[in-house]
């Protein structure tokens, strides 16, 4: 797979027997997604670490990922490309190139926006309102229009809005008189 390096951050971690280095590589894949990969100076990622720890922002590499016995992806082979087969100009501002994201930070976001969260809450309230309207009318009318009208009243109440005007399907003249004359 081809990658364009956005930044490389090297850190040294002390151990009981000395220390080891790791590289946080932020890169853009060929499909334009911005991703990150942590490479250790030892193990199957060792050769990739040696090459990519010296990489500069904007350089293009061909990486060969292989799944190891523990079901993780190791980058076992890395070759620098001349850049002719992939756009080497990153689509992010150049002042951010070379700066690595802090360790443990997610590059990009999959969290819903405020509008998407509000829509989700509205859908939950609507579903609950319909269920409660059906439950309220389970011994009486099963007319869908009346159930939906009741559900809309519940929804409006939950959101603190005025209840919609419900148009009566019957007038007083349609009812039998129960007052003795």
Tell me the per-residue pLDDT of 50-75, one tens digit each, with 9 for 90 and over.
888 888 888 999 998 888 888 888 88
| pLDDT reported for residue 91 | 43
Contacts of 179 (CB under 8 A, 6+ apart): none
8-17, 97-106, 126-135, 149-158: which range is least confident on average?
A: 97-106
| pLDDT reported for residue 20 | 85
Handedness of CA 106, 109, 111, 114 (dihedral sign): positive
Please check the confidence at residue 129 and state whether its pLDDT lies above 80: yes
Please check the confidence at residue 34 and state whether its pLDDT lies above 50: yes
Of all residues in the chain, what percent carry a pLDDT higher than 70? 75
Please check the confidence at residue 12 and state whether its pLDDT lies above 70: yes
**What is residue 68's DSSP assignment?**
-
pLDDT digits (tens, 9 = 90+) for 94-122: 444 445 555 555 556 678 888 999 899 99
Which residue ranges make up each domain of the chain? Answer: 2-96, 114-174
Contacts of 91 (CB under 8 A, 6+ apart): 28, 32
| pLDDT reported for residue 92 | 46
| pLDDT reported for residue 120 | 92
| pLDDT reported for residue 106 | 52
Please check the confidence at residue 133 and state whether its pLDDT lies above 70: yes
Length in residues, the chain? 181
Structure tokens given for 145: 């229009």
- Angle at CA of residue 18, ends 12 and 23, nearest 5°: 25
Structure tokens given for 103: 């360790």
Structure tokens given for 25: 């590589």
- Phi, psi (rounded to 5 degrees) for 102: -60, 150
Domain 2-96 class in CATH: mainly beta
If we measure between CA atoms, which residue out of 74, 104, 95, 79 comes closest to residue 7?
A: 95
């Amino acid at each position: 797979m081809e990658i364009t390096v956005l930044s490389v951050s090297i850190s040294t971690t002390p151990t009981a027997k000395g220390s080891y280095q790791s590289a946080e590589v932020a890169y853009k894949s060929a499909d334009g997604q911005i991703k990150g990969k942590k490479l250790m100076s030892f193990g199957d990622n060792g050769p990739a670490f040696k090459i990519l720890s010296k990489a500069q922002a904007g350089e293009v590499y061909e990486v060969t990922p292989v799944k190891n016995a523990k079901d993780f992806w190791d980058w076992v082979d890395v070759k620098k490309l001349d850049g002719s087969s992939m756009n080497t100009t990153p689509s992010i501002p150049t002042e951010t190139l070379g700066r690595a994201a802090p360790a443990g930070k997610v590059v990009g976001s999959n969290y819903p926006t405020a509008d998407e969260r509000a829509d989700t809450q509205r859908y939950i309230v609507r579903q609950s309102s319909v269920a409660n309207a059906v439950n309220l009318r389970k011994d009486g009318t099963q007319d869908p229009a009346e159930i939906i009208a009741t559900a809309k009243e519940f929804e409006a109440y939950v959101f603190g809005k005025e209840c919609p005007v419900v148009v009566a399907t019957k007038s007083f003249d349609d009812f039998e008189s129960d007052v003795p004359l």
